[in-house]
Amino acid sequence: MLTSLIITNTELMEKRNKVTEFILLGLTRNPELQKHLFVLFLIIYLVTLLGNLLVVITIKASQNLSSSMYYFLWYLSFIGAFYSSFTTPKMIVDSLSARKVISYDGCLVQLFLSHFFGRTRLFLLIVMAFDHYMAICKPLHYLIIMNWQVCVLLVGVAWVLGFFHSIIQIPILFRLPFCDPNVIDPFFCDMYPLLELACTNTYVVGLSVAINGGLICTVCFLMLVVSYMVILNSLKSYSSEGRCKALSTCGSHVKVVMLFFVPCIFTYMRPASTFPMDKTVAIFYVFSTPMLYP
């Protein structure tokens, strides 16, 4: 029994060692459509990169934009610029390539960085919601509570939580044996597509991914919904002008929250499997949201 188990594990590791790269199917195999997608995604990427970097430079260079709100916005735009740079350039290049491949190590690096920056912005959106709550519901204590040290601490916590979330993914995948076929249906490396390629039972691993990814997104989203319900309830005592100013302050943040959390919950709060809508959701999640940050 023990001998057969050792042999089985050895065979699985050998199979895994044979998989040195993954083939990405991309969005389409139509050569003409691929050219149009190349132009479209190149424009989206340039707009995303330039728009977010413009926000970063403007906030950094202006002395009038030194409040905590712009401090958090600086980091959100910084993350938006870098997050799109880990998947978009390769997809742009692959749209004109006949053979779309990514190495095993490159896939793990892409997965780690996308989850790191993705989860960091998730926690940063919660920090920004807390900042809005203090500015609207506790205006007299805002400058005292949201001082420079608190802002730095909150951003640091967001980075640390994002790192710990993403670093958990790598050991999970590193222990899995991968077999042929080594074809990833989406256009980038993510947890569920990789779990489907593993030649072992991944039910427990998929459950841990759902808890580590989907449950976190859902709980954070519910926290943000409750916080904004409290903010809206506090606006009853404001004047008409005050309510308009408060709503305009929170409106853009609410839109980003919806655009970020809905695809996140759809992607990870489910069993370890892929669906036909995954590509559409992934495009919206990877391309559209960072572009709309500015």
Q: What CATH number is attached to the domain comprising 93?
A: 1.20.1070.10
Residue 1 counted as domain residue: no
Residue 287 counted as domain residue: yes
Q: What is the pLDDT of residues 72-129, one digit of tens each?
A: 888 888 888 888 787 788 878 877 777 788 888 888 888 888 888 888 888 898 888 8
Residue pair 70/55 in contact by the 8 Å Cβ criterion: no
Residue 4 counted as domain residue: no
Decide if pLDDT at 212 tops 90: no
Percent of residues, the chain, with pLDDT higher than 90: 3
Domain region containing 37: 23-176+188-292
Percent of residues, the chain, with pLDDT higher than 70: 88
Residue 182 counted as domain residue: no
Q: What is the pLDDT of residues 15-28, one digit of tens each?
A: 444 677 888 877 77
Report d(CA 197, CA 209) in Å as an integer: 15
Residue pair 51/294 in contact by the 8 Å Cβ criterion: yes
Residue 156 counted as domain residue: yes
Report d(CA 215, CA 225) in Å as an integer: 15
Mean pLDDT, rounded, of the chain? 77
Residue 10 counted as domain residue: no
Residue 17 counted as domain residue: no
Look at the chain and report how many structural domains it folds into. Answer: 1
Which among 274, 115, 90 is positioned nearest to 188, based on CA atoms? 90
pLDDT tier at 158, thresholds 50, 70, 90: very high
Which among 186, 181, 184 is positioned nearest to 27, based on CA atoms? 186
Lowest mean pLDDT among 48-57, 259-268, 277-286: 277-286
Report d(CA 102, CA 21) in Å as an integer: 6
Q: What is the pLDDT of residues 58-69, one digit of tens each?
A: 888 877 766 777
Residue 201 counted as domain residue: yes
- Who has greater pLDDT, 235 or 130? 130
Max alpha carbon distance in the chain (Å)?
77
Residue pair 147/186 in contact by the 8 Å Cβ criterion: no
